[in-house]
Structure 1
């Protein structure tokens, strides 16, 4: 399974996740209630995800586990397709949880609990 297909499969299983192409040109932007938690660029060379903070993003970048996500805030990183599958799953889940937690309590309550995928 290609990296793009794997990431799309992981994201599609998350409660309330929806895929769109907001900028056109072949982006896969995964959102929950309109807020993005994962994005595959039109070049399809990796997936960008949100980290809890800039420091965590920096640690991942310094460790060589990720690179700075172009066009995104410094708290976002891009994972390359050759990242281990369990790392992709973990980072996508963390990003989803961060974004989900930023939703109103009412919107959060409207979503089923996340199962590990």
Structure 2
């Protein structure tokens, strides 16, 4: 999966936005001001960091060498996925959706209802 494909997937969710608070070269995808994906498109290889339920993160790290604890993030709740082609695109899409849903689940009920 390419960074452009990750961007298209992330921006397909309700109220998803992209910002560059760390400057060019790092795209941060948010919902209601809360980050759910961080893409480093210029990395060698590019990568995406995603929020992830801890047990699921452990499982994914065991399944794929390209999945590691979140780079510069809370390693318990975030994973980083190298976009080197070793993780099937469908799996990366599921990880992005899981991350978005984790962030939405932490929002106030009225906001969650508006996003559904």
Scaled to the shorter chain, the TM-score interval is 0.7 to 0.9
Shift of 1:23: 1.0
Identify the residue that residue 91 of structure 2 maps to in structure 1.
87
Task: Report the CA distance shift for 1:23/1:10 in structure 2 as closer, same or farther (over 3 A).
Answer: same
Q: Pairwise mapping of residues 1-117 of structure 1 onto structure 2 (< 5 A)?
A: 3-41=2-40, 43-44=42-43, 45-53=46-54, 55-64=55-64, 66-74=67-75, 75-81=77-83, 82=85, 83-111=87-115, 113=116
The normalised TM-score by structure 2 is 0.86
The normalised TM-score by structure 1 is 0.85
Secondary structure in 2 matching 1:37 = strand
Length, aligned pairs only? 110
Q: Distance in 2 between matches of 1:4 and 1:41?
A: 8
Stretch of structure 1 that moved more, 68-77 or 85-94: 68-77
Q: Distance in 1 between matches of 2:5 and 2:41?
A: 16
- Structure 2 runs not aligned, ≥5 long: none
Following superposition, which runs of at least 4 residues in structure 1 exceed 2 angstroms of deviation? 41-44, 62-65
Shift of 1:43: 3.5
Query: RMSD of aligned C-alpha atoms?
Result: 1.6
Q: Could you tell me whether the CA contact under 8 Å between 1:3 and 1:46 is conserved in 2?
A: no
Q: Distance in 1 between matches of 2:24 and 2:12?
A: 24
- Structure 1 runs not aligned, ≥5 long: none
